[in-house]
């Protein structure tokens, strides 16, 4: 059986990743693709516990290096328990964030060495990396306006930090040499979803188990 496909969606807080992951999964399932969805951190008992620790404002200060290692530990379990088995069974995995988030939040914006974070990410995932990462790009001020709830510990960073996060995603897309594509998240939910589907078809269409071709129209 052919290896499955790993797609991650990433971007600034408030860009709409979770909604877009759900829509992409539904579209692929409608085309007979077996799909597994997950979030990073999370989607395992260990990952959900680490997620609560990392995002709870009551946790208090965490150094950037400790923060990064907690994310990496959660991701290692996610790969072992969810992602690798799904890929080995030929499924499409859609993950809400992945290694790129660490590279950006703790690297470009947090001051840790970007190359070191990529290397640690390779170790944590045992080499399992996305076949495509779609970054949802949005001005941080506009993204913040979309967060209609109390902010978690990471979302509560300064406006300057979130500006550096956005620039970090754009820099990684330009500089990393990895399959990272940027789409604007400024349009409607459906407009953004159409852009994501086009990127998936363009870069992975011939690998999707459901047989969606790279030239298939996007409804």
For the entire predicted model, the pTM comes to 0.92
CATH 3.40.50.300 matches 5-207: yes
Domain boundaries defined on the chain: 5-207
Cα 181 from Cα 109, distance rounded (Å): 20
Residue 200 CA to its chain's centroid (Å): 14
Cα 149 from Cα 168, distance rounded (Å): 25
Q: What does each of the 219 residues of the chain score in pLDDT, given as a tens digit?
A: 578 999 999 999 889 999 999 999 999 999 999 999 999 999 999 999 999 999 998 998 999 999 999 999 999 999 999 999 999 999 999 999 999 999 999 999 999 999 999 999 999 999 999 999 999 999 988 888 887 777 778 887 888 999 999 999 999 999 999 999 999 999 999 999 999 999 999 999 888 887 665 444 555
Residues 6+ apart with CB under 8 A from 89: 1, 4, 34
Query: Apex CA 169: angle with CA 189 and CA 137, to 5°?
Result: 20
């Amino acid at each position: 059986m052919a290896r499955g496909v790993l797609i991650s969606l990433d971007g600034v807080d408030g860009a709409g990743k979770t909604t877009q992951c759900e829509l992409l999964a539904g579209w692929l399932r409608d085309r007979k693709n077996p799909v597994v969805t997950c979030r990073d951190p999370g989607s395992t008992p260990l990952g959900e516990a680490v997620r609560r620790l990392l995002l709870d404002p009551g946790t208090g200060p965490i150094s950037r290096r400790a923060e990064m290692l907690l994310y990496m530990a959660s991701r290692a379990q996610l790969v072992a328990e969810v992602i690798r088995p799904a890929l080995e069974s030929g499924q499409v995995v859609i993950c809400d964030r992945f290694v790129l988030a660490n590279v950006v939040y703790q690297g470009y914006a947090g001051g840790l060495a970007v190359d070191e974070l990529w290397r640690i990410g390779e170790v944590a995932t045992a080499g399992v990396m996305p076949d495509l990462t779609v970054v949802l790009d949005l001005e941080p001020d506009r993204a913040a306006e979309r967060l209609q709830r109390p902010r978690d510990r990471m979302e509560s960073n300064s406006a300057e930090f979130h500006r550096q996060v956005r620039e970090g995603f754009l820099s990684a897309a330009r500089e990393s040499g990895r399959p990272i594509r940027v789409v604007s998240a400024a349009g409607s939910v459906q407009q953004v979803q159409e852009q994501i589907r086009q990127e998936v078809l363009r870069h992975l269409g011939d690998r999707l188990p459901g047989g969606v071709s790279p030239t298939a129209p996007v409804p």
